[in-house]
Every structure is written in structure tokens, then in C-alpha cells.
Amino acid sequence: MIELRGVKKSYQTSSGEYPVLKGVNLEFNAGEFASIIGKSGSGKTTLLNMITGIDRPSDGEVWVNGSPLHKMSESQMARWRGSNMGIVFQFFQLLPTLSIMENLLLAMDFCGKIPISERKERAEYLLNLVGLLDHADKLPLALSGGQQQRVAIARALANDPPVLIADEPTGNLDSKTAESIFELFTRLAEQGKTIIIVTHDDSLAKRTQSTTMIADGMIVAEKRASIPLAA
């Protein structure tokens, strides 16, 4: 469903070319709840950026649901991403001057996949799903970090994408809030969404169906659990 073949990524720096991903081969199945772990600077965010199409590989191929991301133009990619990928960024990136409800509606407006007449109801459904319907009219900064993270997840789901990607979704959260977010991901995977998270939390990673460890831009270990998702 998601396949990376020989993916390399280098950045040009003042001291020359800096290789960050050095030939990554990886596969994720539809409906899989996967984690990516690795030390700071090992290339995790860069790897996620390859899968979401936020950045392009210097070499290699990235296929998602049969679409060749490595061949798409910027505008094709933006359109494709809007309806195919839900992205939860490390620092939420909610628009601070819009209410929680407006943040979700805007994501739907940009994409156009959800009919206009259904957007408000869908936003309410998603805010209810993450337990924040009572906060719909508040501005993001009126919420706690954990609540903002849940809004970011609701927004990522706005256009009902088959894939949800989250960079450190439970970083900086207390353990109870982290647990509730993990449970939400588990439920979404059970409903058929493919979920890929980057995490520093080994105990959370162990509870996902597969864990990929990256070190120095290379996959150094892959573990696939044959057990069902842990609750």
C-alpha cells in the first residue's frame, strides 16, 4: 500500500551534500498501525516527509496506493495529499486566529472532497471523536497542548484520508493524554486506516503492529507483530 524503494535524500549544505536517507526500502500494509523509532537526527521526519510527499527523494521511488509520489509535480502532489494523507505535525500547526471548528472547516474547504452541506456535521463528528466538541468555538491557544494535539488529529482526519501520518503525536503530553491518543489511533487502524507514527516512546512503539528503527539514514531493524493491536 505504501512502498519506498531505494529512497535516498540529501540536502545541500554550505559544507557540501549531506546525505540523510541512504537507500531506504520499506513497506506498510493498508490498515497497519506502524511506528518509526530512532535517535534524534537519524532521519525520521525526513522519512515521513517522503511518505507524505512534503519533500521529494533525491533518488528512489515512493508509491502510495498505486500513486508514484516521486513523479508528481508540486501541484499534483498538493491536490493528491489533500484527500489521501492526514498529517499531524510535531507542533500541531493550527491556525491561531481561527476557532477549532474553523480550523477543521478550512481543511475541508481546501480539499473539496467533502460536500459543502456535510462539512459542519463532519467537523462536529470529528471533534466529538476526539472529545472536544464543547471547545469548537475556542481559539487553539485557549486549549492545552494535549487538546491542541487532538484538534490536530481531528483536522488530519477532516477529509477522511486512508492514511494518517503523525510526527511525535504523544511527545510533550502527559501519560494519560498520550494513552487516549494512542487508543484513538488503535481504533482508527481497526477501522481500516493506515497509521504511521514517529515516536521516541519505546513502550508505545512496542504496542503498534510494526516497528521500524532508523539509524543514520538507514533501516537497521524491523519488527512485525503477528498479534492483533494491543488496546
Rule CB under 6 A: which residues touch ligand ATP? 11, 13, 18, 20, 38, 40-46
Could you tell me the smallest distance in angstroms from the CB atom of residue 90 to ligand ATP? 7
Could you tell me the smallest distance in angstroms from the CB atom of residue 35 to ligand ATP? 13
CA–CA dist 16, 29 (Å, integer): 37
Q: What one-character-per-residue DSSP string does 147-181 give?
A: HHHHHHHHHHTTT--SEEEEESTTTTS-HHHHHHH
Could you tell me the smallest distance in angstroms from the CB atom of residue 43 to ligand ATP? 4
Residue (38 or 169) nearer to ligand ATP, CB: 38
CA–CA dist 174, 205 (Å, integer): 16
Residue (70 or 120) nearer to ligand ATP, CB: 70
Count the helix, strand and coil residues of the chain and give each as a percent rounded to the nearest 5.
40, 30, 35
* DSSP-assigned beta bridge partners for residue 223: 211
CB 175 within 8 A of CB 13: no
Could you tell me the smallest distance in angstroms from the CB atom of residue 106 to ligand ATP? 27
Residue (91 or 125) nearer to ligand ATP, CB: 91
Could you tell me the smallest distance in angstroms from the CB atom of residue 219 to ligand ATP? 13
Residue (48 or 69) nearer to ligand ATP, CB: 48
Could you tell me the smallest distance in angstroms from the CB atom of residue 137 to ligand ATP? 33
Residue (57 or 82) nearer to ligand ATP, CB: 57
Residue (42 or 84) nearer to ligand ATP, CB: 42
Name, in order, each residue with C-beta under 8 angstroms of 114's C-beta and a sequence gap of 6 or more: 108, 122, 158, 159, 160
Give the closest residue to 66 by CA, choosing from 2, 160, 162: 2
CA–CA dist 164, 3 (Å, integer): 15
